[in-house]
Amino acid sequence: MGIFDKGKPVYSTTGCNRTGCVYCGFGCHREKSPNRWEIAEQLSNPAIIDYMMRGGDFDEDGIWKPDKRGLGFWFVIEWINVHGNLHIIMPHRKKYLAQYTTAETERYLAV
């Protein structure tokens, strides 16, 4: 049907060898740079990846949730890297840590 080349699907819209949501992190701990988010940022709309990374906040019950600024993956990835030692590559890590780290997030990220 024109979507396969030598038995493998060809996804010309993103350049990634995956299907599904661009925000999905399944298996991201096994990827080297450039990972799926770095590639999507280069080949697609960088604002999508920025929205995914920025923002987030704790609600009144202490649960991390997206907020009006973004989904807050920066904190999720950083927490997993600190406490799970998975070394997930976060695009523009220093930028997001500098912009969104608070005293509360620092408490959770402390080892």
Give, in order, the Cα–Cα distances in Å from 77 to each of 2, 8, 14.
Answer: 37, 30, 22
pLDDT of 1-56, one tens digit each? 455 556 665 555 555 665 678 888 888 999 999 988 998 888 888 999 999 999 99
pLDDT of 50-86, one tens digit each? 999 999 999 999 999 999 999 999 999 999 999 999 9
